[in-house]
Amino acid sequence: MELNVVNIEGKETNRKVELPDSIFGIEPNDHAIYLDVKQYLANQRQGTHKSKERGEITGSTRKIKKQKGTGTARAGSIKSPVFRGGGRVFGPRPRNYGFKLNKKVKRLARLSALAYKAKDQAIVVVEDFNFDAPKTKELATIRKNLNVADKRSLLVVPELNKNVYLSSRNIPKSEVITLAELNTYEILKAKSLVLFESSVEKLGELFNA
């Protein structure tokens, strides 16, 4: 699959890049995508939720009424879950929601996500650019020139580009990510995938390593 390389003005250059079929031309595996996205979202959870059970409630331990003769159920503690202010039954406890996923499954999921973007013709290859300082207005203009201003876009740079990253932080629906951080969830969330020209070659090296 060949794509034209465009400049920051949105105009085609005389260069083309070949998107490897081994990455963008595979048959997508939906179950691998499901597992990878599930793991990604699970890893985002803090898992610090906690509620107090009856053994952790502050209160008197005296027996609140006599055992028999009241005509109601027996009760031994004010901290019982059946009373207002008592402990919670089987409340949430701190836990780690993460789970193990094989590297080959994660790799297949990312390849499948990229293949879906290629099938949807939602990939734009732009020649590399940089800013001398963070410039949100210039990046917004570039997104407009690339026809991705009204879409959620993911700009993939080969390595950390601080000025481009800082320029995108105040633009809605705009994300900048390095190749090393590329993941299935971010690829699928974006409506348009914008690749730096230098990212395409390194993308092949990343998945063939």
| Rounded CA separation 60/111 (Å) | 60
Q: What is the bridge-based pairing of β-strands 192-196 and 153-157?
A: parallel
Quote the pLDDT of residue 209.
54
Question: For 98-143, how does the pLDDT look when each residue is reduced to its tens digit (9 = 90+)?
Answer: 999 999 999 999 999 999 999 999 999 999 888 889 999 999 999 9
111 in Cβ contact with 207 (< 8 Å) = yes
Give the global pTM. Answer: 0.82
Select, from the ranges 42-46, 149-153, 204-208, the one with the highest average predicted confidence (pLDDT). 42-46
* Opening angle at CA 208, ends 206 and 15, nearest 5: 70
The three-state secondary structure class of 87 is coil
Residue 7, pLDDT above cutoff 80: yes
For domain 2-46+97-208, give its CATH number from 3.40.1370.10, 3.40.50.300, 3.40.50.1100, 1.10.3720.10: 3.40.1370.10
- The domain ranges of the chain are 2-46+97-208, 51-91
What's residue 12's pLDDT?
A: 84
Task: Please tell me the distance from the alpha carbon of residue 79 to that of residue 36, in angstroms, as a whole number.
Answer: 43
Local structure of residue 61 (DSSP, 8 states): -
Residues 57-112 pLDDT 10s: 998 889 999 999 999 999 989 999 999 999 999 999 999 999 999 999 999 999 99
Helix, strand, coil share (%) of the chain residues, nearest 5? 35, 15, 50
Under 8 Å between Cβ of 138 and 131: yes
Angle, alpha carbons 156-162-168 (nearest 5°): 65
Query: pLDDT category, 200, cuts 50, 70, 90?
Result: confident
Summarised one tens digit per residue, pLDDT across range 143-179 is 999 988 888 999 999 888 899 999 999 999 999 999 9
